[in-house]
Amino acid sequence: RRMSSTKRGAFVVIEGLDKSGKSTQASLLHDRLQGSQDAGDTAPPKVVLLKFPDRTTAIGKMIDAYLRSESDLDDHAIHLLFSANRWELASTIMAYLTQGTTVLADRYAFSGIAFTARKGLSYEWCRAPEVGLPAPDLTLFLNISPEVAAARGGYGLERYEREDVQTGVRQVFDKIGRAVQDEGEGKWVEIDAGKNKEEVAEDLWRAIEPLVTGVHGPINKLWE
Ligand code: TMP
Ligand code: MG
């Protein structure tokens, strides 16, 4: 109906520090992509929005308890839970893409690596469980300095919502962005998230628009 049968949906990931505006922008993008498709339409959805961690699953509930400091876990164990939380959605992502649905993800494997490597675990070890996941066609990194993020209504009470943590995480994100570009693992586009909400939304839209009618080619596997 709206795309040729040779196209599949695009997989677009939004990454960034806490308080960079990711969730707000992801939901604006979702609404804009969904456009006029009405509720009674039986065609596959044009777009779905996934959120990682997905706190609704059994694994997600363990992650949620950890983030709210209701439980303590070894750094390796929580890392693997975050990764498992992506793997439990991997076949769902593949199915959406195959049927032509655009998949938007609010955070993905890159957050997984950045938040754990910041703790001192090796980059390679952190990356290993993410290898083979469906690879994004495009990653939009909402770039904001930790100081500006902190000034923006402040951080909440969750485990990583501290300026020193965010500063370390951002350094790993920079390394990941370069690696993704160099290794040809899809596109990594940095968006200035210090601008106002409407401007950021426009910049994101410009980056994603070429992909919204679908993309050609197989669904790649991350780092494989
Ligand atoms: P959220 O605020 O987007 O729900 O994410 C919760 C926290 O979990 C956030 O500080 C980032 C962190 N995180 C990881 O440490 N590893 C991961 O794999 C993901 C997806 C998030
Ligand atoms: Mg948060």
The token duo for 193 is 């998230």
Rounded to whole angstroms, the Cα distance separating 68 from 188 reads: 30
Q: Which residue has a Cα nearest atom 15 of ligand 1?
A: 115
Pocket test for ligand 1, best of 115, 162, 173 (most atoms within 8 A of CB): 115
Interface ipTM above 0.95: yes
Q: Which ligand is nearest to the CA of 64?
A: 1
Q: Which residue has a Cα nearest atom 4 of ligand 1?
A: 53
| Residues 14/67, Cβ–Cβ less than 8 Å | no
According to the model, what pLDDT value does residue 190 have?
97
DSSP letter at 162? S
The structure's pTM equals 0.95
Q: Using alpha carbons, select from 133, 138, 116, 134 the residue that is nearest to residue 125.
A: 116
From first to last of the 224 residues of the chain, give the pLDDT tens digit.
555 567 999 999 999 999 999 999 999 999 999 987 777 788 899 999 999 999 999 999 999 999 999 999 999 999 999 999 999 999 999 999 999 999 999 999 999 999 999 999 999 999 999 999 999 999 999 999 988 888 887 788 999 999 999 999 999 999 999 999 988 878 999 999 999 999 999 999 999 999 999 999 999 999 99
| Residues 128/216, Cβ–Cβ less than 8 Å | no
Q: Using alpha carbons, select from 5, 89, 24, 98 the residue that is nearest to residue 53.
A: 89
Please give all residues whose beta carbon lies within 6 A of any atom in ligand 1, as ranges: 18, 52-53, 67, 82, 107, 111-112, 115, 160
